[in-house]
Amino acid sequence: MNSSKTARCVFLGAPGAGKGTQAKRVATDSGVCHISTGDLLREEVKSGSALGADAKTYMDAGKLVPDQLIIDMVKARIEGPGLSEGAGGWILDGFPRTLPQAEALDANLSGDNALTHVISFAVPEEVLMGRLTGRRTCSQCGAIWHIAHKPTSKDGVCDQCGGELTQRSDDREEAIGKRLEVYRSQTAPLLAYYRDRGVLREVDANRSPDDVFKELLTHMQ
């Protein structure tokens, strides 16, 4: 998988499609940098910063955070040490989510930093709903569990650190419905944008994580 070490990728898909899980696995396997804008924003929320307080309003309502709050953050990470001169690959998970964001990303990346792959994770909406409503997050270490697919040995308690498991406000059914609606209207159009650029690859993500990972690797060669 040597070629994936310098791959510069965007992972696209609806909430719950498995983008983050697969991005972490690819990062561990190949050493590329996994850049999750969701994680970055949640860190800001936890810190109580002005950016975090603003972002929390949108996240709790199941809406997308406005472009201006995240574009500078993502650009700074990509242009940071070890990434700005093509020294390593990266995966963007959660960005871009709108056409203006995609255009802004293209405008800021060129040469050795130009985007090489866009992977789309396809999953039926009814499956996504089940995945997200059952998801639980450790309040201490951030580990993610699922009441059906990845349960802990003791209900409500993290197997890794013993912390309390909670359900994110944006993983409740009403918020999920809003998030999927936003995805359909704002993010799905990116498929045509990247298909026209010749960098889009589509993966059937309604399968086991191992099967998805194997197919993913073939697209990142």
Catalytically annotated residue among 25, 56, 97, 136: 97
Active site residue 135: yes
Active site residue 179: yes
Active site residue 97: yes
Catalytically annotated residue among 25, 42, 131, 135: 135
Active site residue 42: no
List, as one string, the DSSP characters of the chain: -GGGGG-EEEEEE-TTSSHHHHHHHHHHHH--EEEEHHHHHHHHHHHT-HHHHHHHHHHHTT-PPPHHHHHHHHHHHHTSTTTTTSSS-EEEES---SHHHHHHHHHH--GGGS--EEEEEE--HHHHHHHHHTEEEETTT--EEETTTB--SBTTB-TTT-PBEE--GGGSHHHHHHHHHHIIIIITTHHHHHHHHT-EEEEE-SS-HHHHHHHHHHHT-
Catalytically annotated residue among 8, 56, 131, 179: 179
Catalytically annotated residue among 19, 25, 56, 136: 19
Question: Is 17 within 8 Å of 121 (Cβ atoms)?
Answer: yes
Catalytically annotated residue among 168, 178, 195, 207: 168
The residues annotated with a catalytic role in the active site are 19, 97, 135, 168, 179
